[in-house]
Amino acid sequence: MKILLAGPRGFCAGVNMAIETLETAIRLHGTPIFVYHEIVHNKHVVDRFTREGAVFVDRVEDVPEGAVLLFSAHGVSPEVRRVATKRNLRAIDATCPLVTKVHLEAIKYARQGYRILLIGHEGHDEVIGTIGQAPDAFTLVETAEQVDELPFGPDDKLAYLTQTTLSVDDASRIINRLKTCFPQIVGPPKDDICYATQNRQEAVRVLSEEADHVLVLGSQNSSNSQRLAELARDNGIPAHLIDGANEIDPAWFQGNETVVITAGASAPESVVQDCVRWLEQRYHASVEERTIRAEDVYFPLPKELRAAASAARLPMA
């Protein structure tokens, strides 16, 4: 067996920032510390912080008044912030800056009177937070087929935005359909799909040409991880989205395949290496790193946390 380790893979700058933010907040404020929704969509990360004393909640009202509440990387609506302020919570915002960019675009388009067509997946935390920036202005579009059913005409003032973790190909199909049906539609000057999502998809697209099988490390509720597995399958390659080596089924392999291993943007490198060892031990697999595109993006901790950590002379995580 031959393993091709896809690069880039795993944690992106936004996930690194969110995890480091929670680590620093725990050291600074102690536990329990509350987090609105999962800090990132990964079982291993969430389980680790739960063991360390983080409490993940889906309602701000479940957080005791005056407690510390951290907003996850996926972003939140102004209503969530309002309720947090009303409950006198000490809020720390770990929203990925690339999600914040989409929020600011939504606010701008809404103020200018646009009807905003958001390309994304219903119920995803990021989509909920984005729509919450201007609830009356949004229409969610999940497929290109839905575009034909939209109740708009040539005189409607329309704009589009996208969830940051979509399949580039799927989003492009929907955007092209929108532009065909509504030539007047405008969009952001820079693509909303984040650099890390695009880079990981590019690596799978390129390496799957050599693959007999693709393993994607990530949780089932991770949108960008789901897209990686779908991309491989679209290329005709069997692919499985798994949380760890314990989910590998030996029936998938004969033992002489070329297997591409990658990881979604919220999956730790440790689970990748566990899978590599699993395959090495059972199939005497050789390992080759294949980096398709280098990444050097870094997002600093939230300003308020940096200031508090500095005042407490707390070394950064």
**Which residues are known to be catalytic?**
126
Taking the C-alpha atoms of residue 98 and residue 13, their distance in angstroms, rounded to an integer, is: 10
Q: Crossing angle for the helix pair 195-207 and 168-181, nearest 10 degrees?
A: 110
- Phi, psi dihedral angles at 47 (to 5 degrees): -60, -40
